Amino acid sequence: MDYQAVLEEVAAFARPFAGRGQVADYIPALERVSADRFGIAVADINGAVYGVGDWEVPFSVQSISKTFSLALVMAHAHGDDDIWKRVGREPSGTPFNSLVQLEWENGIPRNPFINAGALVVTDRLQSLTGDASTTMLHFLREESGNPDLAFDQAVAGSEADHGDRNAALAHFMASFGNLENPVPSVIEHYFWQCSIEMSCRDLATAGGFLARHGVRADGTRLLQAREAKRINAVMLTCGTYDAAGEFAYRVGLPAKSGVGGGIIAVVPGRCTLCVWSPGLDRRGNSVAGAAALDHFTTLTGWSVF
C-alpha cells in the first residue's frame, strides 16, 4: 500500500470540506482555532507514519482521550470487567453531554464515550492509579514517541470555567453511588485529560495498539486481543456521539472523535489513522474529518465489514 499517495488523494478530496461546520465555541480556548485547518496521518502496525497537510500541528484531543482512559482502566484492572457494571456499552442516541438518560437509568451512563461514561472511567482510573491524568499523559508520551506532549493549561482552565454541565453529570452519578472519588477530583482529572495537545502523527502512533490487537509500540502487551476487540467494537457503535450509525454506514471503521476537530480511526491488523479539521457538524464531529475517512475507506476498500 502506497500510504502517502492515498493520503494525498484523500486530502485533495477532503480539503474543500475544511472550514465547513463550526468550531467548539462553548469552550472559549477552542473557539480561537481556525476552522479551515486540515491534516491527516496514518501509522501502520510496524510504526511507519505518513501524513499530509497540518498533520504535525498539535491540537486539543478532547474526547479522543476517552479511548485511552478506557484502555488504561482495562489494562490496570487485569481483565476485571468491573467497569462494565458501572457503564454500559450501548449507543446513546442523545447528545454527548445529556442528563436525560441518567435519570431513567439510575446513574449508569449508556457508554464510556459520552461525557457521563467518561467521568466514570476517569473515576475508576483515578482509583486504580492515584493520578488518572498524569498516568494517561505518560502513556501517550510513550506510545507516540513524543516526550514533549503536555496538558494545555488554557484549555483545561477554560473547560473548568465552563464545566457546569459536566459537574452536574458527576454529582448526579455520585448521588447514585456511581463515583468512588470526590466529584471535584474526578472533574479536574477529566478536564486535564481532555486538554492534552497532540498532532495527527502523535495520535495515529499512540493508537497503534488497537490495530495490533493490544500490543504496544515496544512489543509488550497492554491488552488481551479480546479486550482490544471490545474497545474497537464500542468505538464503532458509540465513538462518534449520536452519529455513530451514520459514521459506521459511511466509513465502516472503529473511530473516536473529539470536539477539538480530531478523529482517530482503526483498521485492525493494518493501521491507525488520525484526521484533524476543527469545523464540526451539529453532532460534534469534524465535517472534513468524516469526509476524509469516508474517502480513505472507499479508495482502499478497508473496513470491518
Q: How far apart are CA 282 and CA 62, in angstroms?
A: 17
List 33, 61, 190, 257, catalytic entry:
190
Asked about 85 being catalytic, the answer comes back as no
List 66, 98, 158, 277, catalytic entry:
66
Asked about 50 being catalytic, the answer comes back as no
Short-list 281, 166, 282, 257, CA closest to 207: 257
Question: Residue 60: what are its φ and ψ, rounded to 5°?
Answer: -80, 120
List 60, 63, 65, 257, catalytic entry:
63
Question: Residue 200: what are its φ and ψ, rounded to 5°?
Answer: -60, -40
List 3, 144, 241, 267, catalytic entry:
241
Q: How far apart are CA 38 and CA 55, in angstroms?
A: 8
Q: Cell for 270?
A: 493494518
Asked about 190 being catalytic, the answer comes back as yes
Asked about 256 being catalytic, the answer comes back as no
Q: Who contacts 253 (Cβ-Cβ below 8 Å, separation ≥6)? A: 236, 265, 266, 267, 293, 297, 302, 303, 304
List 49, 259, 266, 287, catalytic entry:
259
Query: What is the set of active-site residues?
Result: 63, 66, 190, 241, 259
